Structure 1
Amino acid sequence: MKMSRVATLQFAAFHVLVVLLSVGADYIPPSRVDGFVYENGSLDLLDTILIEAFYDPVCPDSRDSWPPLKQALHHYGSRVSLLLHLLPLPYHDNAFVTSRALHIVNSLNSSATFPLLEWFFSHQEKFYGAQTRNLSRASIIEEIVKSAAKVVGRSYYNAIKKGFNDTKSDYQTRVSFKYAALRGVYGTPFFYVNGFLLPDAGGSVDYKAWRKFIDPLVGDKKSAHHEESLHFLS
């Protein structure tokens, strides 16, 4: 990631923070926690190791980091949960509208959220760079609606299209950006494990690295549960 891009997003994040602090008592948090829970993950912080990932649907680095993270999640099963946050980067073409599509689909059928994210990862060239330079925003949204309907089900076409005319999905996507800014996230992918920033933020983490980070935590959690059981029995 070029420093000019980092500086741009850091400035935006600082501006968001200033605005939120300036509104004081008038600021109202969103009605639900930001992010999408992967498959059967749990947000019970006492019973699971929580990974928080910040992704941009049209970010190549986000795309490349997803397969090893997904492999790790399947390896650990219910012991590890993923909460995915979206950060539509201002220098990635159509990052906001693709993120908005994910919010819309999640509200219609949450089981289709990650399949749609993977579809965006596999077809980034359709929405990123020179491919869309001469296309109107309306035509890009229409293509996204058609594509999302193919993933979710063609019967959802009208509902997805309606979602882009609803201010709710726009608000949810803005909340995602603001949440990332408040967490100090300035690029994608960024990863937190149990609330702590993973080293080398902004780059891909391979499967071996995930195992290196998570294995000791899984062992510590097992030990803690064992000690609790012995204490109960005594």
Structure 2
Amino acid sequence: MQLTIILIVLIGFVSTQVPIPSRPDGYGVGGPADAHVVIDMFLDPLSSQGLHVIANVTNRNLDAIYLYTTKVFENQTTWYNDATKSMTIPQVIDSLATFVNQIGLVSKDKFMVGMMSDDINDETRISWKYACSRGVVGTPTFLINGVITSAGPSWSLSDWKSVIDTILATNENTSSNVKDCPTGQSECNYAPHKSQCCLAGERCIANVGCRC
């Protein structure tokens, strides 16, 4: 059985038109796209645009994206309302850029350029609109296989396992394997408990299936 986790940003910008993202929104941090359990985590890591900056500067490096999200949350009190109430927005951004530079993700200059980018700002706005379209009204919000759950920051590993293991156990008893392929076709076992019959000229690709 397989598990995929996707990080998705949620922030508070509003405009009139809801554009369609140029690619599925969010950043997958583990597991194949066709996993039996997919968890969407809608997060608000202080400056959500900062997450898009990291993704763009590092060419969507998942380790960098995960590190940024983790470290910002570990130090989020630095940017709480009380801590920043006497600061201007440029000062808050400068503080975040300094922090990102200190943990070795990207240079302060690159981060600042990204924060001023209109394109990255648009990406961030689209993420918020996408979250709204999924019924997300606050962060953090967790979806399991597309369904909003009661999961929250207080959930322990045991809490998560009690939900996920039940789903995985159900899938253990469900097989989508083909029984026999017709003459001239070859069986493609492309994922656990999943197979297809490939036509002549098609190749069997792991986690995908039959493709020309």
Question: With structure 1 as the length reference, what TM-score do the two structures score?
Answer: 0.64
Q: Aligned residue for 2:123?
A: 172
Q: Aligned residue for 1:223?
A: 173
Task: Give the number of the structure whose residues are more often strand, by fraction.
Answer: 2
Residue 53 (1) aligns with residue 41 (2): yes
CA deviations over 1:121-170 (Å, ceiling 9, x no partner) = 1111111121111111111111111111223445x332211101211221
Displacement after TM superposition at 1:202 (Å) = 5.6
Secondary structure of 1:228's aligned partner: coil
> Counterparts of 2:180 and 2:67 in 1: how far apart (Å)?
43
Point out where structure 2 has 5 or more consecutive residues left out of the alignment. 1-11, 182-212
Displacement after TM superposition at 1:205 (Å) = 2.3
Residue 101 (1) aligns with residue 89 (2): no
Residues 48 and 124, structure 2, Cα contact 8 Å, conserved in 1: yes
Secondary structure of 1:184's aligned partner: coil
> Counterparts of 2:161 and 2:37 in 1: how far apart (Å)?
13
Count of matched residue positions in the alignment of Structure 1 and Structure 2: 167
Residues 54 and 65, structure 2, Cα contact 8 Å, conserved in 1: yes
Secondary structure of 1:191's aligned partner: strand
Secondary structure of 1:52's aligned partner: strand
> Counterparts of 1:203 and 1:146 in 2: how far apart (Å)?
27
Q: Aligned residue for 1:133?
A: 85
| Structure 1 outlier segments of 4+, above 4 Å | none
Q: Aligned residue for 2:210?
A: none
User: AA paired with 2:99?
Assistant: S
2:148 counterpart (197, 205, 217) = 197
Displacement after TM superposition at 1:28 (Å) = 3.9
Q: Aligned residue for 1:148?
A: 100
Which deviates the most, 138-147 or 215-224?
A: 215-224
Residues 54 and 189, structure 1, Cα contact 8 Å, conserved in 2: yes
Displacement after TM superposition at 1:50 (Å) = 0.4
> Counterparts of 2:168 and 2:152 in 1: how far apart (Å)?
24
Q: Aligned residue for 2:164?
A: 214
Displacement after TM superposition at 1:173 (Å) = 1.2
> Counterparts of 1:152 and 1:219 in 2: how far apart (Å)?
41
User: AA paired with 1:125?
Assistant: T
Q: Percent identity?
A: 25
Q: Aligned residue for 1:32?
A: 23
Question: With structure 2 as the length reference, what TM-score do the two structures score?
Answer: 0.70
> Counterparts of 1:223 and 1:152 in 2: how far apart (Å)?
46
Residues 38 and 144, structure 2, Cα contact 8 Å, conserved in 1: yes
User: AA paired with 2:76?
Assistant: Q
User: AA paired with 1:122?
Assistant: E
Residue 115 (1) aligns with residue 67 (2): yes
Cα RMSD (Å) of the superposition?
2.4
| Closer, same or farther: CA 160–218 of 1 in aligned 2, 3 Å | same
> Counterparts of 2:93 and 2:49 in 1: how far apart (Å)?
10
> Counterparts of 2:54 and 2:28 in 1: how far apart (Å)?
14
Task: Give the number of the structure whose residues are more often helix, by fraction.
Answer: 1
| Closer, same or farther: CA 201–211 of 1 in aligned 2, 3 Å | closer
